[in-house]
Amino acid sequence: MEVPPPKYAHRFLRWFCRDDYLEEIEGNLLEMYERQYEDSPEKAQRQYGWNVLRHFRPAFIRSFKVYQPNNYRAMLRHNLILTFRSFQRYKSTFLINLIGLSSGLACALLIFLWVQDELRVDKFHANNDQLYQILEQREQAGKLVLFRTTAAPTAEALAADLPEVTHATTVYNSSSSVLSVDEKDITAKGQFVGNDFFRMFSFDLVQGDAAQVLTDPSSIVISKELAQRLFGTTEEAVGKTIERKSDHSYQVSGVFRNVPRNSSMQFDFVLPFAGYQREHEWTSEWSRTSPATYVQLKPGADLASFNNKIANFVRDKTEGQIFHRTMFAQRYSDVYLYSNYENGEQSGGRITYVRLFSWVAVFILLIACINFMNLSTARASRQMKEIGVKKAVGARRGSLASRYLSESVSVATISLLLAVLLVSLLLPSFNEITGKQLTFAFDVNLILIAIGITLFTGLVAGSYPALYLSGFDPAVILKNKLNRSVGEQWTRQGLVVLQFTLSIILITAVWVVYQQVAFVQNTHLGYDKDNVLYFERLSWEEGNLKAFLGEAEKIPGVTQISSIGHDMTGHNSGTTGLQWTGRNPSDRTEFEVVRANYGTLELLDIKLKEGRTFSESFSTDTAKIIFNEAAIDYMGLTDPVGEEVELWGENREIIGVVQDFHFESLHENIKPLFIILNPNSTWNIAAKIEAGQEQETIEQLSQLSKKFYPDYPFDYWFLDQEYQALYAAEQRVAVLSKYFAGIAILISCLGLFGLAAFTAERRLKEIGIRKALGASATSIVQLLTSDFTKMVLVAITIALPISYFAAQRWLQNFAFSISLQWWYFVGAGVLVLLIAWLTVGFQTVKAAQANPVECLQDE
Amino acid sequence: MKSPSLGEFEELVLLVVAAQHDQAYGVSILEDLEEKLSKKINISAVHVALKRMEDKGFVESRFGGITSERGGRRKKYYIITAFGKQMLDQQYALRTSIYQQIPNISFG
C-alpha cells in the first residue's frame, strides 16, 4: 500500500472492533480505500474515517470486560512484589521518601483540620444565608474608618422601615458579670440582645420558646453549662431566680445548648436589651454607638440594593445632624474571616492566614513529591534493563507506568498511615499553639480528603518516573546506548531548584513574621506595661475607691496604684464633642477619651512633653484637660498649654501635653487623644507591683479586695500579657510557620541527601580514577558539591524577589512595622546553602575518602 | 418457535450472495447492489446484514487465502445455506402469489 489510511481511524477500529469481524471489515475497508485512493486521495481518507465510524455499533463492538482476571491479578501481585523488593533493596531511598511524605502529609492534614475549622466558624446557623451585620463607615480626617458598632435604636428602626428585614437584633456586650444563686457567685459572660435573637441565630433552646424567652425585660436565658454550674442541674431551671451583682434579679426563661466553639459570639447568658434600654438613657440616642446590630433579610433579598437603602440611614434618622456615618451590611458568617477594612475597602482579615497556610501545605507536599520524583528518576538507570526487557517482551507502556504508580501510591499509603499516627500524637500540641480544640475524628469528609491527598501525592510523585521511564525505546536501552539526556538532567535540577526556592520562601516568611512579632513585643509603646496589674473596679462608690487605693498603697509589693478608664489595648471610647478655635465645622474626627485618676500617668510612665499632669495640690483639675501630641498636631495648636478648648459644652484649660503612646495595637496609627481627670468613671484599677514579689502582692491585693468587696471574685490580668494577646494571631502564625519551615527544610534536605548519595555512587569510578591519579579529597568534595551549590544559588536568586514582595504585602497589615533588611533574605539563602552543603558534604566526604582500589577492582 | 424473519435489505443482500455463488464477499456485494439499485450504500450496512443473516443461519462464511491486496487481509466469502435458499423461495412464492392477485385492469 502506498499511502496508509488515516492512523487514528485505523487505530480506533482496531480498538473497538471484535476480533472475529476485524479482519473482514478491515480488509473490505482497505480494499475500498485502495480503489478510491486512485480517484481522489482526500476523498478516500474521508471515506475511510466515515466507514470506520459507521461500524461503531453494537454488532461489532467488542466486549470490554477484563476477560483474563487471573492475568490481571498476577500483574498486580507482580507489581506489589517488585515494589516491596525495591523498598528492601533501596532502603535509604525508601526511608527518605517515607519520612518526607509522611511528615509532608501530616503537615497537610494538620493544616487541613485548621483551615476547615476556620472556614466553618459561624456557618452553623440555619439562617446563615440571610444573616448580616450592620457596619458603619465613619469619615475621620478625610479617611473612612470602619466601625462594627451602631447606635442602639438601629435594629428596631431597620426592622420597622425596611420590608426586606424580617428580623433585627441588637447585641451589646457588657463586661463580665457576677451571677449569684444562694450565696454561690459565678463570673460569667453575657450580652444584652433584642427580642429576635433566638429566632435569628441557631443557639438552640432546650427549654423555653425562641419567640417568648426575651419578652419580659427581667428574664435571663442561660446556657446549659451555666445552669449546671448555678443550679447543679440543667433540668427545671426555668422560673428560678438569679441575682446579677451590681444590677438586680432575673428570672430564667430559657436554657440554650452551650454555644458551639465555632461561633465567634461566645456567651454564657443573655439578657433582654429592652431592660437595659429602660435604665440607660443613652440607648435612645443616634449619636452614641456601642452595640452591634444584626439583621436577617428575606431569602433572595438583593444585598446591593439593601446597602443602597441603608447608606444614609443615620443621616435620615437624625434629619441631617449626623452626616458622616454610612451604613452597610456584611454577611454575618464572613465577618470572622473578612474583618479588615481599609478606607472603605475590604482588605482581608483572618482569611490571609487561611490562605497562607493552605499555600504552606501545598508547598510542603510539593517538596515531598519532588523528592520522590528525583530519587526515582535518579534510580532509573539501575532499572533500565528491567524496563528494556519488559518492553521487548511486549509489556505495554500503560502496564509499566502502572508499576511505578503503584510503587509511589504504596509509599504514599504507608506514609498516610504514619502521618495519621503523627497527627494524632501532635494534635494536642497543635491545639495549644493554635488555641483551638481540633479533634481528629474520622468523618467522611476527612477520610475523603486524606485519601484524595494521598492518591494525589502518590500520582504526582510517581507521574514523572512513570511517564519518563516507560517512554524509553527498548532497543536503545538494551544496547546500552541511552545517553543521559540533557532533558533528564535539566528536569531533575529544575525540580531541586524549585524545591529549594519553596524552602527559602518559607524561611524568609518565618524570619520576617518572627522579626515583626519581636518588634511588636519590644517596641516601646510610650508607656510602661511591665509589672502592671490590672483589675476591674468592683464598686462604683467614689469614697470606696479612695479608701481602697489608700489601703492598697500600704501593701509593700505595690509601688504605685491608681485607677484608669481605659484598657490600654484597644479603642475604648471616643468622642466628637470637642471644640477648639479654628476647628472645621464639618470635621467629625473622634478623639479617644482616657479618664484618669491622680497618679495614673505617673504609674504608666507616660512621658510629659509640656506642662504638668493632674495633681492633688490643685483642686480644679477635674476641669482641665491633657492632650497627646497627635491631638495637638491635629488641632494645629502652637502653644497649647494654657489655651482653652470646649468639651461637651464646657470650657477646659489645657494643662499638659504628653508624648504619643500606643493605646491600641500596632496595627493602628496613633490617634488624637485627651486625658481628663474623672476618678469616678475609671473602671479599672492599675497597680505597679515590684518584680519578684508578684505572688505575695497579688495575694494581699486579693485579700484587700475581699475585705472591701466581699461579694465579688477578684479577677486580674497583667497589662503586658493582655498586650501580647492583641498579637495572638501573629504569634501563632510565627510559631506555626517556624515549625512548618523547619519541616520544609528537613524534607528538602532529605531529598538532597538522597540525590547526593546517588551522585556520589554513580561517579564512584570517576572518583576512584581521580584519586588514583592523585586528586585530593578536598578537590573531590569540591567537584561533587559544586553542582548542588549552583542549584541552591539559582534557587536563592528566584526566591528572593518573591519572598520580598510577599513579606512587603504582609507587613502592610501593620501601621508600625519593621523595615525589611537585605540580610533577612541573604541570611535565609546562606542558611539554606549551609544546610545543603552540610547534607551533601556528609555524603561526598564519605565518597572522597573511599579507597579507590575497592571501586576500581572490577574494571 | 417463530421462524427468523428476513428484512428487505437483508433479502437483497441474500439474493446477491446466492447470485454470486461462492464468490460473494463484502465489497463485491456492495458494488453489485450499488449498481443494481443505483444508489450509494455504506459498507457497514452490508456487514451488519451479513452478520445478522449468519446468526440466523441464512448464510455461511469461509476465509479465502492471503493475498498481497487488501493490506494482506483475507477475504471472507459468504454462501447461501439451504435454509437461506428456502427462505428466499418462500419469499419469492409469497410475492408472486400476491402479485398474481392483482386484477387485470389498466393502471394508466
Residue A377: C-alpha distances to residues A84, A755, B68 (Å): 18, 10, 46
Q: A6 at the B interface (CB within 8 A)?
A: no
Name residue A87's amino acid: F
B contacts of A30 (beta carbons < 8 Å)? 70-71, 73
Q: B62 at the A interface (CB within 8 A)?
A: no
CA dihedral A654, A655, A660, A662 (to 10 degrees): -90
Q: B100 at the A interface (CB within 8 A)?
A: no
Answer whether residue A620 shows pLDDT above 90.
Answer: no
The arithmetic mean of pLDDT across residues A816-828, rounded, is 76
Answer whether residue A445 shows pLDDT above 80.
Answer: no
The two beta strands, A341-342 and A325-331, are unpaired
Per DSSP, A394 falls in state: T
Q: Give the closest-approach CA distance of A13 to chain B in angstroms.
A: 12
Interface of A with B in 33-62 (CB under 8 A): 34, 51, 54-55, 57, 59-60
Asked whether the beta carbons of A658 and A626 are under 8 A apart, the reply is: yes
Place of cell 465613619: A138
What pLDDT, in 10s, does the model give residues A422-433?
Answer: 888 888 888 887
What gap in Å lies between CA A451 and CA A604, rounded to an integer?
56
What pLDDT, in 10s, does the model give residues A243-270?
Answer: 887 677 888 888 888 888 888 888 888 8
Interface of A with B in 653-682 (CB under 8 A): none
Residue A120 in 3-state DSSP? helix
Interchain CB contacts (distance < 8 Å): A and B? 60
Q: Give the closest-approach CA distance of B60 to chain A in angstroms.
A: 14
What pLDDT, in 10s, does the model give residues A210-238?
Answer: 888 888 888 888 888 888 888 887 777 78
A contacts of B76 (beta carbons < 8 Å)? 23-24, 27
What pLDDT, in 10s, does the model give residues A274-320?
Answer: 888 887 777 777 777 778 889 888 888 888 888 888 888 888 877 77
Q: What percent of chain B has pLDDT over 70?
A: 95
Nearest 5°: the CA angle A739, A743, A749 is 145
Interface of A with B in 590-649 (CB under 8 A): none
What pLDDT, in 10s, does the model give residues A726-775?
Answer: 677 777 777 777 787 778 778 877 877 777 777 777 777 777 788 778 77
Q: pTM of whole model > 0.80?
A: no
Q: How many CA atoms lie within 13 A of A479 on its CB side?
A: 8
The two beta strands, A269-272 and A190-193, are parallel
CB atoms A59 and B69 under 8 Å: no
Q: What percent of chain A has pLDDT over 90?
A: 0
What gap in Å lies between CA A52 and CA A61, rounded to an integer?
12
What gap in Å lies between CA A532 and CA A541, rounded to an integer?
24
Answer whether residue A523 shows pLDDT above 70.
Answer: no
CB atoms A57 and B44 under 8 Å: yes
What gap in Å lies between CA A709 and CA A186, rounded to an integer?
15
Q: What percent of chain A has pLDDT over 70?
A: 88
Mean pLDDT over the full length of chain A:
78
What gap in Å lies between CA A808 and CA A831, rounded to an integer?
21
Q: A393 at the B interface (CB within 8 A)?
A: no
From the list A1, A25, A34, which residue is nearest B47 (CB)?
Answer: A25
Q: Give the closest-approach CA distance of B71 to chain A in angstroms.
A: 7
Instruction: Pick the more confident residue, A345 or B52.
Output: B52
The arithmetic mean of pLDDT across residues A438-460, rounded, is 78
Residue B1 — pLDDT band, cuts 50, 70, 90? very low
Asked whether the beta carbons of A313 and A157 are under 8 A apart, the reply is: yes
Q: Give the closest-approach CA distance of B46 to chain A in angstroms.
A: 10
What gap in Å lies between CA A569 and CA A727, rounded to an integer?
11
Instruction: Pick the more confident residue, A370 or B52.
Output: B52
CB atoms B76 and A27 under 8 Å: yes
From the list A27, A32, A57, which residue is nearest B73 (CB)?
Answer: A27
The whole-angstrom distance between residue A502's C-alpha and the CA centroid of its chain comes to: 19
**pLDDT value of residue B107:** 67
**pLDDT value of residue A667:** 66
What gap in Å lies between CA A718 and CA A705, rounded to an integer?
17
What gap in Å lies between CA A507 and CA A501, rounded to an integer?
10
Q: Bridge-partner residues for A716, per DSSP? A: A535
ipTM of the complex model: 0.88
Three cell numbers, residue A481:
546506548
What pLDDT, in 10s, does the model give residues A108-143?
Answer: 888 888 888 888 888 888 888 888 888 888 776 667
Q: Give the closest-approach CA distance of A62 to chain B in angstroms.
A: 14
In terms of Cα–Cα distance, which of B61, B17, B74 is closest to A26? B74
Greatest distance between any 2 Cα atoms in chain B: 58
**pLDDT value of residue B51:** 92
CB atoms A21 and B47 under 8 Å: yes
Instruction: Pick the more confident residue, A329 or A572.
Output: A329
What pLDDT, in 10s, does the model give residues A472-514?
Answer: 777 776 776 656 555 667 777 787 788 778 878 877 877 777 7
What gap in Å lies between CA A481 and CA A616, rounded to an integer?
98
Q: B4 at the A interface (CB within 8 A)?
A: no
What gap in Å lies between CA B101 and CA A416, rounded to an integer?
85
In terms of Cα–Cα distance, which of A295, A74, A360 is closest to A164? A295
Helices and strands (DSSP H and E) totals, chain A: 27, 27
What pLDDT, in 10s, does the model give residues A594-613?
Answer: 777 777 777 777 777 777 77
What pLDDT, in 10s, does the model give residues B57-102?
Answer: 999 999 988 887 787 888 999 999 999 999 999 999 999 999 999 8
Q: Give the closest-approach CA distance of B105 to chain A in angstroms.
A: 46
Answer whether residue A60 shows pLDDT above 80.
Answer: yes
What gap in Å lies between CA A410 and CA A77, rounded to an integer?
13
Answer whether residue A332 shows pLDDT above 80.
Answer: yes
What pLDDT, in 10s, does the model give residues A36-54?
Answer: 888 888 888 888 888 888 8
Among the residue ranges A56-65, A86-95, A580-589, B86-95, the one predicted with the least confidence is A580-589
What gap in Å lies between CA A571 and CA A573, rounded to an integer?
6
**pLDDT value of residue A347:** 65
Per DSSP, A148 falls in state: S
Residue A502: C-alpha distances to residues A93, A357, A749, A813, B10 (Å): 22, 14, 12, 23, 70
What pLDDT, in 10s, does the model give residues A537-588?
Answer: 766 565 677 777 777 777 777 777 777 777 766 666 677 777 777 777 667 7
Q: Give the closest-approach CA distance of B41 to chain A in angstroms.
A: 11
Instruction: Pick the more confident residue, A521 or A122.
Output: A122
The arithmetic mean of pLDDT across residues A682-709, rounded, is 75
Q: A29 at the B interface (CB within 8 A)?
A: yes
Residue A696 — pLDDT band, cuts 50, 70, 90? confident
Q: Bridge-partner residues for A564, per DSSP? A: A596, A684
Q: Bridge-partner residues for A242, per DSSP? A: A250
Three cell numbers, residue A714:
477578684
CB atoms A29 and B47 under 8 Å: no
Residues near A27 by beta carbon (within 8 Å), at least 6 away in sequence: B26, B70, B71, B73, B74, B75, B76
Three cell numbers, residue B100:
398474481
Rounded to the nearest 5°, which phi and psi values hold at A412? Answer: -60, -40
Residue A718 in 3-state DSSP? strand
Residue A471 in 3-state DSSP? coil
**pLDDT value of residue B25:** 92
Which chain B residue is nearest to residue A4, measuring alpha carbons?
B71
**pLDDT value of residue A540:** 59
Rounded to the nearest 5°, which phi and psi values hold at A442? Answer: -85, 70
CB atoms B43 and A54 under 8 Å: yes
**Mutation for testing the B interface, residue in A21, A22, A28, A48 having most B CBs under 10 Å:** A28
What gap in Å lies between CA A382 and CA A223, rounded to an integer?
68
B contacts of A57 (beta carbons < 8 Å)? 44, 48
Answer whether residue A859 shows pLDDT above 60.
Answer: no
**pLDDT value of residue B78:** 94
**Mutation for testing the A interface, residue in B30, B44, B53 having most A CBs under 10 Å:** B44
CB atoms B27 and A31 under 8 Å: yes
Ordered DSSP codes for A58-78 = TTTBPP-S-S-HHHHHHHHHH
What gap in Å lies between CA A83 and CA A408, rounded to an integer?
9
Q: B51 at the A interface (CB within 8 A)?
A: yes
Q: Bridge-partner residues for A536, per DSSP? A: A684
In terms of Cα–Cα distance, which of A13, A10, A26 is closest to B47? A26
Q: B66 at the A interface (CB within 8 A)?
A: no
Answer whether residue A241 shows pLDDT above 90.
Answer: no
